[in-house]
Amino acid sequence: MSISSPDTCISHNNNNLPNLSNKSNGMRGNKYNCNNSGTPRTRLERLLRERELRKFNKSLNDGETELLNNDSFSPDSFEAFSWFNDEASLETISANRNSTDGCERQDSRASRERLLVVANRLPVSAVRRGVDSWHLEISVGGLVSALLGVKEFETRWIGWAGVNVPDEIGQRALIKALAEKRCIPVFLDEEIVHQYYNGYCNNILWPLFHYLGLPQEDRLATTRSFQSQFDAYKKANQMFAEVVKEHYVEGDVVWCHDYHLMFLPKCLKERNRKMKVGWFLHTPFPSSEIHRTLPSRLELLRSVLAADLVGFHTYDYARHFVSACTRILGLEGTPEGVEDQGRLTRVAAFPIGIDSDRFIRALELPQVQDHMKELKERFAGRKVMLGVDRLDMIKGIPQKILAFEKFLEENPNWRDKVVLLQIAVPTRTDVPEYQKLTSQVHEIVGRINGRFGTLTAVPIHHLDRSLDFHALCALYAVTDVALVTSLRDGMNLVSYEFVACQASKKGVLILSEFAGAAQSLGAGAILVNPWNVTEVASSIGYALNMPADEREKRHHHNFVHVTTHTSQEWAATFVSELNDTIVEAQLRTRQIPPPLPIEVAVDRYAKSNNRLLILGFNATLTEPVDTLGRKGSQIKEMEPKLRPDLQEPLRKLCDDPKTTIVVLSGSDRSVLDDNFGDYSMWLAAENGMFLRATKGDWMTTMPENLNMEWVDSVKHVFEYFTERTPRSHFELRETSLIWNYKYADVEFGRLQARDLLQHLWTGPISNASLDVVQGSRSIEVRSVGVTKGAAIDRILGEIVHNKGMKEPIDYVLCIGHFLAKDEDIYTFFEPELPSEVPAPVRSHVTPPVRTSVSKLSTSRSLSREDRLKKHRPMPTIERSKSYHVNTDVFQSRVVDRMSLQEGSSVLDLQGDNYFSCSVARKRSNARYLLGSSDDVVKLLTELTNSWINGMNTDGSTMEGN
């Protein structure tokens, strides 16, 4: 795809995604040139195209941003942030953009898409000045800084204004004041703030996510209050959801932020399933071993997974999250995200950035220059070291100061040549832990200044307050060494801001390896372990003595990163991926068969005369697959058991003379005997390789020449892996071998499975004629041709013969939780000529892959119709042969083809009387879906009722099956 930016025209395709097409070759400026031929098909193609489009928009924006920022850049106010400006200026920009485009733009989405940013804190905190008058101040913190730099969207911010407003007059006045800044308040009362924000968010989740553990002291009290804090957390999240709902307009992107709002995606999706919901975490997501300790671990993960896209600062945090979902919820983690019953929540890393231009431009402003001059004079003759942090235990302020003390202790010559300026912004001052930290820091600073200070100078200048933007920029610019020693930090934007302001000085950044920023600025910074005070002290020495050329190289590396990975890029990428996730989900959904129309299936059943029901066993007639987390990995029943609530309907259906039931399972014969021996039905064990009417003996339907010589070598491999994978086991069946790790540690099990597969593919059996079938937690090895689909015509032949059927089968219901390999059973009954019957109900985007059928069955090369007509009149030819161990109990036979009468078909389904149904497996070749075995119970019960009702009306009698 060749795309060149300014020469590009933009249109919409059906997916509502803009198309880029090159308008060169002398076809400029004609909107009809915008063709759709290059419609991207894959996710990556779509995202690449979006990226090109963003770059193109940015090149237009750059000029416009100048316009926007011209007069409105008032130093100390938030007017500096573009999206705070009023609607009118944005309209102007849009108009300018259209007129400069050269090709009529239908693309309003990229530049005007509405974005609802939902975060605990609004970018402004409100201070009450009177009954109905408010003063707004910019809130301090990385989240606010980053989001204020986002310019691409028409943004509304929903959040808490940091103040309790109990009265209606005050609320109304605040709503009005905030509306001018495109902010919408969520009113939280004092008690909720105490329990939700101070309690659950800042005393439980915050320390936990930063590896500081759950509160230890007063265990009982904590446990008791934990529940009420969690309740308040959920309630607060519901309140946010209500406000979102009120302001949501169809098509809006709703972007939820941070650990305060982990419950929000679920609340939003429950209110509106179609809402585009993204969630981004600004803190680290800890290892799943840490998250496991949280009492509400399941609920929080599940709620976050309701979002369409989940984002983190780094790949590590994303990996931890996926791992928590697999280990704690028992879900499937894929490179794309987390999958739950066919639904994918995309999980990815989106490292945040800053609005670097804003910092670079600010350095030119006179007031910033004045500040810089003052600072240079004040600290002349001394190197300036700088720390800027909220006064939070995660920032490692005590550790930083202790390291500085050690440096002064060991380097007396530096004592009057260096100063540490530490800006410690008060935060969460209602939480006792933060109050303790403040006193602790004051105490250490006092001690060190007492120890190394003189009458005229102290080594540490500690400020317990925030600075305005320009003072901060000046400080960054005059600094020689910045010290960021967070014990853990989601990203840390201070390090980015410092780099942005160092174009001329090229100072050194000492950066904690536990800050997310270490992933991006690690190459240019000096990385330290903040817990290692000795290492930090020596790094200070190294930084202060660093030669200019090394400083320059390091700075350049980081400067390029900071100026290219901006907050605008971050937001645009996130929103673009969120939009794409929705497109992708729609494509996936269209590949999913529709739910079984139970009424239709029952009605047709009642109206037919010779029905065949083929039922799988595992997860079809047993309890639903347990996905409730770790408990699911505990061994409950080694052997599958028929659900008690299915016994009665099954028995009644078996007693219906017009119905034949076959249970077709991968399980071995003894398991089917134990569960179904008392019913009047057919049992097909080991994927149909063994067959028995419950009144008779087992026989084999196996192809005669089935090669089983591979068994010993595979068994050897399986034994090896079973020994090395705790809680895995393998089953040796007559026709297959299965290694099962469903009770093992999921991640370790998967790694072992990967190794095992690699060994099977490349090892001693690599040339054998085998199928290696991967289940979600198992690996099965079978001879080629051992599938349910391959076995079914032999089974059918035997049944028709055995029952002496005179009429064709006019209704087939085939239900199972079958492996992909065995889905050939669904296709077996599908008409092969499209003209014969209407196509399955679902609409395909990509046609489902049709599993090829057995090569062993010669009749397979014929069409279904030919195959079934070709069958000879009755006498079944049975060729006995002994097979395997224990064959004394089983009579083994191979059944030849048959038909009802010369030329007539065994099946007469008239297209519509065929219901293939996948249970709890969404991507399937079946025509329909059933959610779980609960639905199977419902269906079979209704079939039973229909038959009983039918029998009463037409007066037919019950005969044996």
Ligand X SMILES: O=P(O)(O)OC[C@H]1O[C@H](O[C@H]2O[C@H](CO)[C@@H](O)[C@H](O)[C@H]2O)[C@H](O)[C@@H](O)[C@@H]1O
Ligand Y SMILES: O=c1ccn([C@@H]2O[C@H](COP(=O)(O)OP(=O)(O)O)[C@@H](O)[C@H]2O)c(=O)[nH]1
Q: Give the binding site for ligand X (CB under 6 A).
A: 121, 141-143, 146, 258, 282-283, 352, 427-428, 489-493
User: What's at 506, amino acid-wise?
Assistant: K
Of 466 and 701, which CB lies nearer to ligand Y in the complex structure? 466
Site for ligand Y in 718-757 (CB under 6 A): none
Binding mask 457-476 for ligand Y (x = CB under 6 A): ---------xx----x----
Look up residue 889 and give its DSSP letter: T
Of 163 and 467, which CB lies nearer to ligand Y in the complex structure? 467
Of 190 and 637, which CB lies nearer to ligand X in the complex structure? 190
Residue 616 beta carbon to ligand X: minimum distance, rounded to whole angstroms: 48
Distance CA 699, CA 682 (A): 12
Residue 140 beta carbon to ligand Y: minimum distance, rounded to whole angstroms: 4
Of 468 and 599, which CB lies nearer to ligand Y in the complex structure? 468
The residue ranges of DSSP E strands in 188-330, in sequence order, are 253-257, 276-280, 309-312
CB atoms within 10 A of CB 395: 29
Residue for token pair 């485009």: 101
Residue 434 beta carbon to ligand Y: minimum distance, rounded to whole angstroms: 13
Is 390 a binder of ligand Y (CB under 6 A)?
A: yes
Partner that binds at residue 472, options ligand X, ligand Y, none, CB closer than 5 to 8 Å by kind:
ligand Y
Residue closest to ligand Y (Cβ): 142
The H or E element that residue 792 is part of is helix 788-803
Of 259 and 710, which CB lies nearer to ligand Y in the complex structure? 259
Strand partners, 489: 515
Of 143 and 508, which CB lies nearer to ligand Y in the complex structure? 143
Residue 257 beta carbon to ligand Y: minimum distance, rounded to whole angstroms: 12
Is 80 a binder of ligand Y (CB under 6 A)?
A: no
Q: Would you call 461 helix, strand, or coil by DSSP?
A: strand
In this chain, which of 290, 423, 702, 907 binds ligand Y, going by CB under 6 A?
A: 423
Of 76 and 410, which CB lies nearer to ligand Y in the complex structure? 76
Say if CB 493 and CB 142 are below 8 A apart. Answer: yes
Is 385 a binder of ligand Y (CB under 6 A)?
A: no
Of 547, 558, 412, 401, the residue nearest 483 (C-alpha): 401
Distance CA 244, CA 238 (A): 10
Partner that binds at residue 352, options ligand X, ligand Y, none, CB closer than 5 to 8 Å by kind:
ligand X
Angle formed by the axes of helices 469-478 and 493-500, to 10°?
A: 70
Partner that binds at residue 798, options ligand X, ligand Y, none, CB closer than 5 to 8 Å by kind:
none
Site for ligand Y in 134-163 (CB under 6 A): 140-143, 145
User: What's at 364, amino acid-wise?
Assistant: E
Three-class SS of 673-734: HHHHCCCCCEEEEHHHCEEEECCCCCEECCCCCCCCCCHHHHHHHHHHHHHHCCCCEEEECC
User: What's at 411, amino acid-wise?
Assistant: N
Binding mask 259-278 for ligand Y (x = CB under 6 A): --------------------
The residue ranges of DSSP E strands in 823-922, in sequence order, are 914-919
CB atoms within 10 A of CB 100: 12
Residue 494 beta carbon to ligand Y: minimum distance, rounded to whole angstroms: 4
Residue 535 beta carbon to ligand Y: minimum distance, rounded to whole angstroms: 22
Burial class of residue 611 in the structure, from the number of CB atoms within 10 Å of its CB (0-12 exposed, 13-18 middle, 19+ buried): buried
Residue 423 beta carbon to ligand Y: minimum distance, rounded to whole angstroms: 5
The H or E element that residue 10 is part of is strand 8-12
Of 335, 332, 343, the residue nearest 308 (C-alpha): 343
Residue closest to ligand X (Cβ): 142
Count the residues of the shown chain that bind ligand Y, applying the rule CB under 6 A. 17
Q: 474 is written with which tokens?
A: 């000046």
Distance CA 74, CA 545 (A): 39
Partner that binds at residue 347, options ligand Y, ligand X, none, CB closer than 5 to 8 Å by kind:
none
Is 360 a binder of ligand Y (CB under 6 A)?
A: no
Binding mask 491-530 for ligand Y (x = CB under 6 A): xxxx--x---------------------------------
User: What's at 347, amino acid-wise?
Assistant: V
Residue 51 beta carbon to ligand X: minimum distance, rounded to whole angstroms: 22
Is 388 a binder of ligand Y (CB under 6 A)?
A: yes
Distance CA 172, CA 165 (A): 10
Partner that binds at residue 494, options ligand X, ligand Y, none, CB closer than 5 to 8 Å by kind:
ligand Y
Sheet containing strand 729-732, edge to edge, reads: 729-732, 736-740, 778-783, 770-774
Of 316 and 674, which CB lies nearer to ligand X in the complex structure? 316
Residue 115 beta carbon to ligand Y: minimum distance, rounded to whole angstroms: 20
Of 143 and 714, which CB lies nearer to ligand X in the complex structure? 143
Burial class of residue 407 in the structure, from the number of CB atoms within 10 Å of its CB (0-12 exposed, 13-18 middle, 19+ buried): buried
Distance CA 853, CA 867 (A): 14
Say if CB 519 and CB 511 are below 8 A apart. Answer: no
Say if CB 640 and CB 617 are below 8 A apart. Answer: yes
Partner that binds at residue 297, options ligand Y, ligand X, none, CB closer than 5 to 8 Å by kind:
none
Residue 319 beta carbon to ligand Y: minimum distance, rounded to whole angstroms: 21
Partner that binds at residue 388, options ligand Y, ligand X, none, CB closer than 5 to 8 Å by kind:
ligand Y
Say if CB 460 and CB 401 are below 8 A apart. Answer: yes
Residue 205 beta carbon to ligand X: minimum distance, rounded to whole angstroms: 10
Distance CA 958, CA 512 (A): 79
Partner that binds at residue 428, options ligand Y, ligand X, none, CB closer than 5 to 8 Å by kind:
ligand X
Say if CB 880 and CB 854 are below 8 A apart. Answer: no
Partner that binds at residue 467, options ligand Y, ligand X, none, CB closer than 5 to 8 Å by kind:
ligand Y
The residue ranges of DSSP E strands in 243-322, in sequence order, are 253-257, 276-280, 309-312
Of 352 and 601, which CB lies nearer to ligand Y in the complex structure? 352
Residue 493 beta carbon to ligand X: minimum distance, rounded to whole angstroms: 5
Say if CB 675 and CB 641 are below 8 A apart. Answer: yes
Residue 427 beta carbon to ligand X: minimum distance, rounded to whole angstroms: 5
Partner that binds at residue 346, options ligand Y, ligand X, none, CB closer than 5 to 8 Å by kind:
none
Of 145 and 660, which CB lies nearer to ligand Y in the complex structure? 145
Distance CA 444, CA 891 (A): 88
Strand partners, 184: 158
Of 849, 848, 853, 807, the residue nearest 828 (C-alpha): 853
Residue 118 beta carbon to ligand X: minimum distance, rounded to whole angstroms: 12
Partner that binds at residue 466, options ligand Y, ligand X, none, CB closer than 5 to 8 Å by kind:
ligand Y
Of 239 and 388, which CB lies nearer to ligand Y in the complex structure? 388
Residue 198 beta carbon to ligand Y: minimum distance, rounded to whole angstroms: 17
Q: 601 is written with which tokens?
A: 């299936």
Distance CA 519, CA 517 (A): 5
Partner that binds at residue 258, options ligand X, ligand Y, none, CB closer than 5 to 8 Å by kind:
ligand X
Which residues are near ligand Y by CB under 6 A? Answer: 140-143, 145, 388, 390, 423, 425, 466-467, 472, 491-494, 497
